[in-house]
Chains A and B, each alone.
Chain A
Amino acid sequence: MKELTVSSDAPGKRLFVLGNEAIARGVIEAGVQVAAAYPGTPSSEVTETLAGVAKELDMYVEWSTNEKVAFEVALAASICGVRALASMKHVGVNVAHDPLMTAGYIGAKGGFVLLSADDPWAWSSQNEQDNRYIALQAYIPILEPSSVQEAKDMMADAFNLSEQFRHIFMFRSVTRIGHARGDITLGEISRERRKGHFVKNRSWLVYTPREARINKPLMLERFETIKKAVNTLTYNQLKLAGGAKLGIIASGLSYSYALEAVNWLGLEDKVSVLKIGTPHPLPEEMVLELLNSVKEVLVAEELDPFVELHVKAIAGGHNLPVKIHGKDLLPRIGELSTRKLTEAIAKLTKVKTPVDFTAIDKLEQETTPLLPWRPPALCPGCPHRASHYAIRVASRRVARELGKDIEPVYPGDIGCYNLAYNPPQEASDTTVCMGGSFGIANGMAHVIDAPIVAHLGDSTFFHSGIPPLVNAVYNKANITMMILDNSATAMTGFQPHPGTGYTAMGEEAVQLKPEDVARACGVKFVEVVDPFDLKKATETIEKAIRFEGPAVVVSRHLCAIIEQREKKKRKEAVVPYRVDPAKCNDKCNACIELLGCPALIKEGTKTVIDNSLCNGCGLCAQVCPHKAIVLE
């Protein structure tokens, strides 16, 4: 029997999947022909899954250079009548914001869905922005699933809705949907494949002031139609309990927490529940029906009071004397949980919680001080560890000459190298957004006197590092721009990019070199080093910092994880290093304190190398002042 996978044509069969695989399955069932994305947690697995089956299903899947391009690729396919998906993490939507604001005016011909993967509690992000506001601003309706199964079903249906209403839809996922796991029942796969066809239509597609004024009323009309239609969509469901005083309005994933909380409290027949699958626009008739039947309402939603504000507006507009709760009882920050809902509902219904949460909290508080701090660390053998070491040594040498109080500044960026904000590297002083390191360095150059060494990765460079590099040349910013090139989008799972020489679908591609781009942009100091040649790397970075004007150093070494995988494929042994106890001064600890490599540990007073972790990079052997670290 052939193993069941996300691309299996096996309607009715059940499969255990990651939420993002379920979303990809929905895309497959819808017969989507174009999917474009830039990697970002928690969205990446959707496109990875699609890329893996693209050829067998006759789909086109690409990793675009950034989210704006991904969005435009999908928009173009839709305009040409082909079903298309653009996917990205929540902050990626900011990068795509420019075309997105006009996409609502354009609407859709081929079904067009934007997947926004939001990240409450910012598990792997720089903020926890609520992208429902972006959809609100752009007149884009939102579909928000409550479970892994619904994520699959809703995504498959989203393309039908988009074509039915000739409008773009946002599918809003969150970390606990995309990175949840669950069983799904597979549906039919659409085999329809359309030929893209572009019809010239100036009034629809060439946005000058005239077209903005022509198309905005048409967009508002489409939106009004959708606003009525959501009252009959099954993603919104109202369950009234006879005589209930309390109603719960729960949007997306919050619905699953609300159901569990109501059951845990034994209030199944005493509380009315409105499940919301379209937070924008809200099913107003259903909201009104609930508001008319209860005295109090609790709005359960993660992050901002988005549904709450709209429910309050509806209640106010109809002069309904209902008390509406939401962010007065539930947090604006982080994820919701069954517990948080249980406590809020218990408070409103004056029912005792089924568990003594206070006692649990007390025990947890007593326990916390005992816990070791276990932050994610750069991997053993990670080239960034070597790059950051070289950057620190070189920049401090120059800073010392400039004055006793001068500290070098290290604007950082989004990627694994951001972990260098932890000790002992402490070599990432700012992280704001993709490409922000070079941009921030540009500004600092005009206001401070310290050496400024900014760093970003190869994928981030192609994503949004080039405009600030050009800016540094044009506006004469005296900064050093490090491109830490490990030939991968490592943090999100090693996706290819324009510097890797192959595409999402595994085809060979032109391999762009950041150093060529930098030279072509007019940077006069461009050098390439291998960070594991520590001496040369340090000297080169020092020269770059001393160079008058913008300088670029590409620090190139393959990601340690990929390198290890390739060695394994070639059946090449990894040769670890070891500490020679005769030469090691146990009290020195330089290797541990300078590098913080997980493979360097203390066994009692002895410094040793854990040979199950060591990947033989040899960086510690280069920094040991006693030459006590040697090859096995």
Chain B
Amino acid sequence: MVKEFNILINGVGGQGVILMSELLGRAAVADNLRVRGSEILGMAVRGGSVTSSIRLGDDVYGPLIPTGKCQAMVSMEPSEALRNISYLSESSLVLLNTAVTIPFTVSIGESSYPSLEAILEKLAKASEHIVQLDASQLAQEAGNLLTTNIVMLGALFSAGLPIKIATIKETIQAHFPAKVAPVNLKAFDLGYEACRQAVK
């Protein structure tokens, strides 16, 4: 029985954060787990910050992960990981896609973007387990930059989840049209392997 397993996924609108939550949720139900979750979006989807909670287990009631109670954080964008630092604890696992997305406010000089070193330094104060991946690069290797989210999903499963790998793969297979399903499954495997290597 799973009591409580909290996964926080974050990124920028358009990166497929919500789809990751949906796939995880469907796979969890198929594996007979209880699921709860919710998203925090800006006023419009595109270009704004997106944070999604997916919570598994019988002791979970609320839709949002409490402060300091996230087991795994999957960040599609480095500064978005930093934005969600309050969810982390020492034992949280952080999976970080190192490819940055610069908001237009930086281009027009209204704000600035921190260095990756600065981001990692702060994250290290919250958690001891940070895994960096160039998921966007791996997605291109798989055959489509749009599969970056599936690369990160693969990495998450490599870290260990209460959901079976076969189940999430079936869910991915069922979700995508037959033409693009293989690219996504390849992306999943590349992420899985890259994370396994990185942890080793």
Contact = CB atoms under 8 A, between A and B. Distances in A.
A363 B86 contact: yes
A601 B39 CA distance: 28
A612 B145 contact: yes
A374 B68 contact: no
Contact of B48 (A180, A183, A360, A375): A375
Contacts of A363: 85-86, 122, 125-126
B198 interface: no
B69 to A, nearest CB: 7
A338 B89 CA distance: 16
A16 B28 contact: yes
| Dominant secondary structure at the A interface | mixed
Nearest to B59: A263
B61 interface: yes
A259 B61 contact: yes
Interface string A100-135: 000000000000000000000001100000000000
Interface string A590-615: 00110011101110000000001000
Contacts of A80: none
A147 interface: yes
A264 B49 CA distance: 29
Interface string B27-60: 0110000111111111111111100001000011
A181 interface: yes
Interface in A570-602: 592-593, 596-598, 600-602
Interface residues on B, range: 35 or more
Given A338-B64, A374-B47, A376-B45, A16 B29 contact: yes
B197 interface: no
B98 to A, nearest CB: 16
Interface residues of A, number: 58
A337 B67 CA distance: 9
Contacts of A596: 104, 107-108
A605 to B, nearest CB: 12
Contacts of A373: 103, 105, 110-111
Contact of B47 (A123, A124, A377): A377
A377 B104 contact: yes
B62 A183 contact: no
Contacts of B82: 367, 370-371
B13 interface: yes
B25 interface: yes
Contacts of A500: none
Interface stretch (B113-121, B154-162, B178-186, B188-196): B113-121
A370 B113 CA distance: 7
A376 B41 CA distance: 9
A600 B63 CA distance: 37
A416 interface: yes
Given A181-B35, A183-B35, A355 B110 contact: no
Contacts of A375: 42, 47-48, 103, 105
A367 B108 contact: no
Nearest to A612: B145
Contacts of B12: 374
Contact of A419 (B29, B35, B44, B64): B44
Contact of B79 (A179, A342, A372): A372
Interface in A325-345: 337-339, 342
B89 A355 contact: yes
5 contacts: A123-B40, A146-B61, A370-B79, A597-B104, A598-B47
The 3 A-B residue pairs with the shortest CB-CB distance, nearest first, are A376-B48, A180-B63, A256-B61
Given A16-B29, A372-B113, 14 more contacts: A123-B41, A176-B63, A260-B61, A263-B59, A338-B64, A339-B66, A355-B89, A370-B79, A370-B119, A374-B47, A377-B47, A419-B44, A592-B104, A598-B103
